[in-house]
């Protein structure tokens, strides 16, 4: 993302103004005892062989699985890449996230298959009033300053246009609180954004802050 799109005081690696990295080491440390990565938004023609060729260049790959429809065997657009070493998985996440595979930027996250953590809501934040120039990578680059991200995505319509909001799921509640404290009300790409705890529809108050969520 170009520096012209960000506030003048933004750090070069992030489109957000006045943001500071986490000072709490427990929020920033990588606690995962797994070397498994989730690779999403992949082109339907991407195969295990192609992913192996790409990721094995980072470090020895133990296994790869492209998830497919049980009936048609068509790709569901995501895969799991399992390394032998956690350090190689970390390097792949750091260096390959949002790189293009078959001309489509892939989205790499730590694999988190524990449904209780995914569905608990702990660490979930909602970001709205995003400038249309903010894509998944820009959102990730901004919010990864504050802790480990389990998932991060900008909402798009069927035509591929940003809806102006997105979601970030941190591994810890502390990281989510820190991101809200630092980013809420700041300028991202010249637009003041709202950042708050994500609320499920059934628990969300009926106020204007959440009218753009769905």
pLDDT in tens, 100-133: 999 999 999 888 756 566 566 678 999 999 999 9
49-53, 57-61, 170-174, range with the lowest pLDDT: 170-174
- Which CATH number is associated with domain 36-110? 3.30.70.330
The residue with greater pLDDT, 199 or 27, is 199
**Domain covering 3-30+115-210 assigned CATH 3.30.70.330 in the classification:** yes
pLDDT of residue 59: 95
| Phi, psi at 91, each rounded to 5° | -65, -40
pLDDT of residue 31: 44
The residue with greater pLDDT, 210 or 131, is 131
pLDDT band at 151 (very low <50, low <70, confident <90, very high): confident
4-18, 40-54, 106-120, 164-178, range with the lowest pLDDT: 4-18
CA dist 61 → 2, 53, 80, 131 (Å): 34, 9, 11, 38
Q: Note whether 154 and 190 are within 8 A (CB).
A: no
- Note the helical H segments in 82-206: 86-96, 115-119, 136-143, 173-183
Reply yes or no on whether the pLDDT at 19 is more than 60: no
Burial degree of 199 (CB within 10 A; 0-12, 13-18, 19+): middle
Q: How far is 196 from 168, CA to CA, in rounded Å?
A: 10
pLDDT of residue 11: 38
Q: Note whether 194 and 184 are within 8 A (CB).
A: yes
pLDDT of residue 198: 81
Q: How far is 83 from 210, CA to CA, in rounded Å?
A: 40
Average pLDDT for 138-142:
92
In which residue ranges of the chain is CATH 3.30.70.330 found? Answer: 3-30+115-210, 36-110
Nearby residues of 40 by Cβ (< 8 Å), 6 or more positions away? 77, 78, 106, 107, 108, 109
1-5, 47-51, 55-59, range with the lowest pLDDT: 1-5
């Amino acid at each position: 993302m170009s520096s012209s799109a960000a506030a003048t005081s933004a750090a070069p690696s992030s489109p957000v103004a006045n943001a500071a990295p986490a000072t709490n080491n427990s929020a920033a440390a990588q606690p995962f005892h797994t070397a498994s990565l989730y690779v999403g938004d992949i082109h339907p023609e991407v195969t295990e062989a192609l992913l192996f060729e790409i990721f094995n260049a980072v470090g020895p790959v133990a296994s790869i699985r492209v998830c497919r429809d049980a009936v048609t065997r068509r790709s569901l657009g995501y895969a799991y890449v399992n390394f032998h070493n956690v350090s190689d998985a970390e390097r792949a996440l750091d260096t390959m996230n949002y790189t293009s595979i078959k001309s489509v930027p892939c989205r790499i996250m730590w694999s988190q298959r524990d449904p209780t953590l995914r569905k608990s809501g702990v660490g979930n934040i909602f970001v709205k009033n995003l400038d249309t120039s903010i894509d998944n990578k820009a959102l990730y680059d901004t919010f990864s300053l504050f802790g480990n991200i389990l998932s991060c995505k900008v909402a798009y319509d069927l035509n591929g246009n940003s809806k102006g909001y997105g979601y970030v799921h941190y591994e810890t509640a502390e990281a989510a609180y820190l991101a809200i404290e630092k980013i809420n009300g700041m300028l991202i790409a010249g637009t003041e954004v709202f950042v708050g705890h994500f609320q499920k529809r059934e628990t969300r108050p009926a106020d204007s802050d959440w009218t753009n969520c769905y």
